[in-house]
Amino acid sequence: MKYGSLIIEKKEYVYLKRILNVSGYAEDHETQKCLMKLSEELKTAQIVSEEEMPKDIIRFNSIVTLVLENGLEKKLQVVIPTERNINQNKISILTPMGSALIGYSKEDTIFWDFPGGKQQLKIIDVSQEETFSGLDIVM
């Protein structure tokens, strides 16, 4: 792990904690397991201000290029649940893939227990769209 632990921007951290608290109602057991793992990882995450946030960290609205274990390259955007759109490759933070990626950085390799089994993901690029922190957080 490039930075030693997950790095999360303060406002995004608050939002994540809120949605994780209510996501216990997720019907899918495998999704619940992924969200519990993310919740555990957040306990040791570095929480930083917008100004301190490295540009290569996956956060809300980041566009991520990764290589799956089978060699397939995939480009997707990690978004808040209401912005998800599979046809535009926008995945919710509450999906197993979204929860696996948040807080990691370019060049990190992640081993994550997905519903289909444990997989390795290599993050090869991260770019930032409009940052989530500038948006009003409404729950």
Give the position of tokens 């289909």.
116
Helix (H, G, I), strand (E, B) or coil at 34: helix
Provide mean pLDDT across the span 103-118: 88
Reported pTM: 0.86
What pLDDT does residue 134 have? 44
Provide mean pLDDT across the span 71-100: 92
Taking each continuous run of H as one helix and of E as one strand, the counts in the chain are 3, 7
* Measured distance CA(53)–CA(102) in Å, rounded: 13
What pLDDT does residue 66 have? 95
**Residues for the chain: how many in total?**
139
Predicted confidence band of residue 12 (pLDDT cuts 50, 70, 90): very high
Provide mean pLDDT across the span 65-76: 93
Provide mean pLDDT across the span 46-70: 95
What pLDDT does residue 132 have? 56
